[in-house]
Amino acid sequence: MNNNKNNECNYKVNEPYPPVQVISPNPVYACEMLSNMADVVSEMSDVTRYFYIAVVTKPHYSWISTCFHYISIVEMHHLNIFAELALLLGADPRLWNCRECTQWWSPSFIGYPRELRALIAESIKAEEEAIRKYSRQANTICDMNIVAILHRIIRDEERHLQIFNDMYKQI
């Protein structure tokens, strides 16, 4: 990985996101979008994880810190997209989910390892889980607007996975 890559554009796929629109409100799909926002495997978890990693790696690994900072910004954009979809689908886009017993997002959803390889390994696992989750949703949701958005976000997550795997090999 090139240590000079500090431009946000290197951390997302260079293609536009589809418009954020839905065919009609749908409470089942809304719950899926809330899950993408604020469950254990979610954009909020990734934003928080990558923010933490950017802070703790900055003193000794500034290039890693920069990378995680920019990736967290991309994840914030995904979080915003899922929040807008949840709202359009009829949900209140709070950081919670639609389980039988409402569960709010919690910082306890992420690990806080301090060892560099463990931080990156956790990030690799998070991206793999997000790709699996969004792929499952894309295969079950019938609103092609949402499916197109999921596929676009998956491409960003695949880019992040590639970056983290390269980073892990370098250290």
Alpha-carbon distance 170 to 164, whole Å? Answer: 10
Q: Is the pLDDT of residue 24 over 80?
A: yes
Confidence bin at 2 (pLDDT 50/70/90): very low
Q: Band of the pLDDT at 30, cuts 50, 70, 90? A: very high
Is the pLDDT reported for residue 6 higher than 50? Answer: no
102 φψ region: left (φ > 0), alpha (ψ -120 to 50), beta (else)? beta
pLDDT band at 35 (very low <50, low <70, confident <90, very high): very high
The pLDDT of residue 98: 86
> 4: which DSSP letter?
T
Say yes or no to pLDDT of 107 above 70: yes
- So what's the pLDDT on residue 67? 97
Q: Of all residues in the chain, what percent carry a pLDDT higher than 90? A: 89
pLDDT digits (tens, 9 = 90+) for 39-80: 999 999 999 999 999 999 999 999 999 999 999 999 999 999
Cα atoms found within 13 Å of the Cα of residue 79, Cβ hemisphere only:
21
pTM of this structure: 0.93
Q: What is the band of 7 on the pLDDT scale with cuts at 50, 70, 90?
A: low
The Cα angle at residue 66 between residues 105 and 33, in degrees rounded to 5: 30
pLDDT tens digits along 142-171: 999 999 999 999 999 999 999 999 999 998
